[in-house]
C-alpha cells in the first residue's frame, strides 16, 4: 500500500452545503454526528458554483471554494474538527 492506510467509512451522514448551510454550520454539528456514531460526512460539492446554487453541482471553478458557503479559514476549521474526532469526509462530484 506504499505507506498509505486504507480508511473505509463505517457510517456516513449527508451534508448539503449552500448559502443556508455553510462550513461553519457543519463544524458546529460535527461533535453531535460523532456522538451518533457517524464516521464520515458525505458532502455535496463545495467548489465555486453558479451564484445562488442550492446543490453545488454546477461548478465553475474546481480550484476555488464556493464563497457562498464559507471562507478557506472556515473550511479548514471544519476539517480540523473532523480530524480532531478522527472523522473523514467524502466529497460528491459529477465528472
Q: What is the pTM of this model?
A: 0.89
Q: How confident is the model at residue 3 (pLDDT cuts 50, 70, 90)?
A: low
Which whole-number Å values give the CA distances from 69 to 1, 36, 60, 65, 80, in the listed order? 35, 25, 15, 8, 17
Q: With respect to residue 5, please indicate whether it lies within any of the assigned structural domains.
A: no
Would you say residue 56 has pLDDT above 60? Answer: yes
Beta-strand relationship, 88-91 and 59-65: unpaired
Is 1 domain-assigned? no
Q: Which domain holds residue 84?
A: 12-91
Cell, residue 26: 457543519
> What CATH number is attached to the domain comprising 68?
3.30.750.90
Give a yes or no: residue 6 inside a domain.
no
Domain assignment of residue 64, yes or no: yes
- Asked if residue 28 belongs to a domain, the reply is yes
4 is a domain residue? no
83 grid coordinates: 480530524
Amino acid at each position: 500500500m506504499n505507506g498509505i492506510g486504507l480508511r473505509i467509512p463505517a457510517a456516513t451522514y449527508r451534508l448539503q452545503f449552500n448559502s443556508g448551510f455553510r462550513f461553519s454550520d457543519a463544524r458546529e454539528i460535527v461533535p453531535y454526528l460523532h456522538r451518533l456514531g457517524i464516521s464520515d460526512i458525505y458532502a455535496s460539492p463545495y467548489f465555486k458554483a453558479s451564484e445562488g446554487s442550492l446543490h453545488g453541482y454546477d461548478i465553475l471553478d474546481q480550484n476555488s471554494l464556493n464563497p457562498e458557503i464559507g471562507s478557506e479559514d472556515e473550511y479548514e476549521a471544519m476539517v480540523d474538527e473532523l480530524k480532531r474526532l478522527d472523522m473523514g469526509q467524502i466529497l460528491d462530484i459529477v465528472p
